[in-house]
Structure 1
Amino acid sequence: MKWQHVQENWPAFFEAIIDRWPAADEADLEEIDGDQRAFIRYIAKLTEQDPADARDEIREWLTGELPSDVVMDPIHDNHSIHLSGKFLPEGEDELDDDSRYGDGD
């Protein structure tokens, strides 16, 4: 994922950040407000490492999964629906009504 995803959905990443860095504080994260440089400085201080090492650690973390709050974003959801079309039988549309399968409630 790109930092832009993180910045645009900053609060949705709090749980994932705290899972990765348990000493992180939600109040501090709110104050950072998606600022990448501030986040790098924060993680460097939190983990007592050089900012370059913290940046590398954050880059590694960014290769992980998107939090569910971000995944449920309509733009991301529509993209996922479109990609699911490759698993459908020929002639079936990924946007067809699936109510006959019991999920139309």
Structure 2
Amino acid sequence: MKWHHVQENWSAFYEAIQEKWPEADEAELDEIDGDQKAFIAYLAEATGQEPVEIRDELREWLTGEIPADIVMDPIHDNHSIALSSKYVNEGEDEYDDDARFGDDGNDSDDE
């Protein structure tokens, strides 16, 4: 993942940040608001490590995957739909309503 993924979804990353750096405080993370330099400085102070060590840890942490709960956030839906277009037959629109494929109104439990 890239830092912009973290910055754009800052509060959603709190759990992952606190898992990696248990010293991180949620109130302090609110103040940092995705600023990478402020985050590194904060972690250096909170952990007692040198900023260069934190920068290396952060670089390693960023090589991981974006947590699933962030990827599944509805703000990413249109991007995911657009990526799915390669699986949609020519002449069809990936944004079309798919109601005809579901069980809309046809489920016996609805009666």
Establish whether TM, by shorter chain, passes 0.5: yes
How far did residue 5 of structure 1 move? 3.0
Structure 2: tracts of 5 or more residues without a match = 106-111
**SS where residue 22 of structure 1 aligns?**
coil
Name 1:20's counterpart in structure 2.
20
Name 2:73's counterpart in structure 1.
72
Larger radius of gyration: 2
Name 2:109's counterpart in structure 1.
none
User: TM-score normalised to the size of structure 1?
Assistant: 0.73
Q: 1:1-105 to 2 correspondence within 5 Å?
A: 1-67=1-67, 68-69=69-70, 71-72=72-73, 74=75, 76-102=76-102
Distance 1:4 1:73, change over 3 A: farther
User: TM-score normalised to the size of structure 2?
Assistant: 0.70
How far did residue 45 of structure 1 move? 3.0
Q: Name the Cα RMSD after superposition.
A: 2.7
**SS where residue 29 of structure 1 aligns?**
helix
Structure 2 CA distance for aligned equivalents of residues 104 and 84 of structure 1? 22
Distance 1:18 1:103, change over 3 A: farther
One-letter amino acid of the structure 2 residue matched with residue 72 of structure 1: D
One-letter amino acid of the structure 2 residue matched with residue 6 of structure 1: V
Structure 2 CA distance for aligned equivalents of residues 103 and 70 of structure 1? 26
How far did residue 29 of structure 1 move? 0.9
The number of residues matched between the two structures is 104
Question: Percent same amino acid at aligned positions?
Answer: 64
